[in-house]
Structure 1
Amino acid sequence: MSAAFFEERTEPSTVKATIVQKYFDAWSKIILPMAQRYHGGKIAYVDLYAGPGRYRDGAASTPLLVIEKALETPSVAAALVTMFNDQDENNTQTLATEIANLPGIERLAHKPTVNQNTVGEDAADYFGKTRRVPTFTFLDPFGYKGLSLQLVNGVIKDWGCDCVFFFNYNRINAGLTNPAVKAHMDALFGEESADRLRAKVAGAKPHLREEMVLEAMSEALHEMGGEYVLPFRFRNEGGRLTHHLVFVSKDFKGYDVMKSIMAKASTTADQGVPSFAYTPADESMPLLFELTRPLDDLEGMLLTEYAGQRVSMEDIYRQHSVNRPFLSKNYKEVLGKLADEGKIDTFNSKGKGRRSGTFANHIQAIFPEETT
């Protein structure tokens, strides 16, 4: 990553770093007990495009923020193995110095490793063949060089391994039709998928092209085993998409945790349903974003898709929320409303009644048969 990228901290970069830091904090505490039993008591954090560690204004970037968070919890500091990499020698030297100067760094049981390498096929091959302890990996290339399906698959293939990566829509969108970078695009989407995408986006309107590119990326990740994919959009003040932060996991728990974190980072929430996007204009023009009624849509979906079924709130959330913006609290609100209005019946497996306006995870919703 170019050192110039770190000259000025922007609000989107702060939001991105906060999402990564918060997920690392939650992930490490969830994973650690199992890691202590089955993985030699180690967990890991990997950043292959780490940069120098600080912006020119002195603010810490992601590597330092993650280490600082780990140092707050002694059990995490004792277990954490960190590996940082950057292709720029000045960045790696600066980062190593910044890490060494962190207050309390001696509490980190395993000294951080800082390497200088270009991320390419060798890295993808290494992670694909090496068995990992539970690892959270952050991939933040300035453009797309080195980012590939093979690399993402390699870093999430083992138990407890999750990944979040920077998806530079603007540069990737331009690269799709640029023969000079065809190999990079093929590595990112898969050759056949990339060819299909090129044919689909030709002549498509910008907003449709955005969705086509992200859908192709998500489908490719699903096909290689990344069961849970969650993108977070960043738009400029004019509302144009600039890039995504994409989370990939094989476990619903990680997906649920990241969904909550990204929801809080969203600049709008219509009827409590987050946009999963950061857009500066949202905060200055809030009335424009109250025109949709997503909970009304959710109510109709549940009545149709679960017609004639008896399903617990917890199962509905696990089954229905994937690839949708709704949170657990959204389902509880809608199910509670449907029950209060007599549109569904309920059964409490614990033998108690259901209080109006509430809907606990174990309560079962009994949906009527769909009428035509």
Structure 2
Amino acid sequence: MAASNADFFLVRKEQSFIKASIVSKYFWVWAKVMANRVEEFYYVDLFSGQGKYEDGSESTPLLIIKNAISDPLIRTKLRVFFNDENSEYIAKLKSEIEALAGIESLKYPIVYSNKDVFDISLSEVYPNGNIKPTLLFVDPFGYNGLQLDFFKVIKSWGSEVIFFFNYKRINMAISNPVFNKNMKRLFGDDLFNQLAEFLDESTPNVEDREEKVTETICQRISSIDEKIIRPLHYRFRDERGTRTIHHLFFATKHELGYAKMKEIMMGMSSEQQEGVGMMEFNKLTEHQPRLLPDFSIPVLKKLLLEKFAGTSHTVEQIYFIHNIGKPYIEKNYKEALRQLEASKQISCEPPRSKRRSIKGIATMADSVIITFFKL
């Protein structure tokens, strides 16, 4: 991180709290799974910062390490690599981490690096270049730090990537020829040329432009490995609530990781309707609710009836088949299925009368078989 951005760490903004919460909560879920599956796994942060804001608030690295220390299994299997180009930041981070209670319980010493992200090689992170399951977090101030070559760690089993995408700066740079080289490095030559041509010829409105840019970065990430599920992204709006300033992207090859991260992002959403979130932080809506797209349970019921007409699947299968790219989490699907059962638009095995009830409401376990009637 450049010294000119030092004021970033004066006071933690609400969006920084949201970002750190999403990353640390997902780390906990991911690390618990990895700790029970493998002998070694990695958390890698290429822009780690100084650990604390001047107001005493903890940033992502400290939250991650405190989570690791708290679990007896995670702390014996986790390897950590922190990098920041700013030598003062990395020194402060090391000092903050070494002061944590229980830090000595980590089996592997934390590796601290002080380099430009483009000068870091995989062999510096992984002994003998042998990539192990990794949660990679990339949070640059601008766009130069989005070193997509390093994202190739996602090819390794169990590896996933979370990255902060400075939409405001990238959006301005896309249409400025001065930054063409940087943009091609970010998007790739072909995708950037397609994006620039689209923006040039169609002059889209603000919403369509953002959709095209985010779709293009999703294509770029997905091109790393054909097994990558279309990346999730969480939007941060400006103080007026009218313009997007950042996106937090998440890329994985595993449907369970996708589902868990979606639940976390939905839970941190500033807008909800009928339990369905917008995956967005918008401070304006705390006082002035907006007219939201119709992501309601009735809409989900209609979609399910159309998609699965004349077929039978378990609840779990329905969720994993249908949820990719849609703004619904597992509990939304189960509620929709309960309502469809009550209105006799589907049949369930076992039926409602033979399933466990909580406060008079029949549960909808993953193993329940749902039969959708033909339309």
TM-score (norm: length of structure 1): 0.91
* From 358, 367, 373, the counterpart of 1:368: 373
Partner of 1:238: 240
Q: Could you report, residue by residue, the CA deviation over 1:148-198 in whole angstroms, capped at 9, with x for unpaired residues?
A: 43222x221111111100011001111111222222212222211111111
Matches within 5 A, 1:19-30: 19-30=22-33
Matches within 5 A, 1:1-372: 1=1, 2-35=5-38, 41-120=39-118, 123=121, 130-152=129-151, 154-202=152-200, 203-225=203-225, 226-239=228-241, 240-286=243-289, 288-289=290-291, 292=294, 294-348=296-350, 352=354, 358-370=363-375
219-228 vs 308-317, which deviates more?
219-228
Kept in 1, the 8 Å contact 2:199–2:209? The answer is yes
Gaps of 5+ in 1: 36-40
Aligned with 1:224: secondary structure? coil
Q: Secondary structure at the match of 2:348?
A: strand
2:282 partner amino acid: T
Query: Could you list the runs of 4 or more consecutive aligned residues of structure 1 that deviate by over 4 angstroms after TM superposition?
Result: 121-129, 349-357
Superposition deviation, residue 291 in structure 1: 7.4
**CA-CA distance at 1:67 after TM superposition:** 0.6
Q: Distance in 2 between matches of 1:350 and 1:127?
A: 53
Q: Amino acid of the residue matched to residue 364 of structure 1?
A: I
3-state SS, counterpart of residue 34 of structure 1: coil
Q: Distance in 1 between matches of 2:48 and 2:362?
A: 47
Task: Name the aligned partner's letter for residue 373 of structure 2.
Answer: P
Deviation at 1:125, TM superposition (A): 9.3
- CA shift at 1:359, angstroms? 2.4
Inter-partner Cα distance in structure 1 for 2:82 and 2:268: 26
TM-score for the superposition, normalised by structure 2 = 0.90
Question: Mind listing any 5+ residue stretches in structure 2 that lack a counterpart?
Answer: none
The residue matched to 2:231 in structure 1 has which SS? strand
Q: Secondary structure at the match of 1:78?
A: helix
* Inter-partner Cα distance in structure 2 for 1:76 and 1:115: 22
**Is the 8 Å Cα contact of residues 125 and 151 (structure 1) preserved in structure 2?**
no
Shift of 1:103: 2.1
Query: How big is the alpha-carbon RMSD for the aligned residues of Structure 1 and Structure 2?
Result: 2.3
Q: Is the 8 A contact 1:120 1:145 kept in 2?
A: no
Q: Is the 8 A contact 1:163 1:247 kept in 2?
A: yes
Shift in Å, 1:123: 4.2
Compute the displacement of 1:290 (Å).
6.5
Q: Is the 8 A contact 2:355 2:363 kept in 1?
A: no
3-state SS of 2:130 partner: coil
Equivalent pairs: percent with the same residue? 35
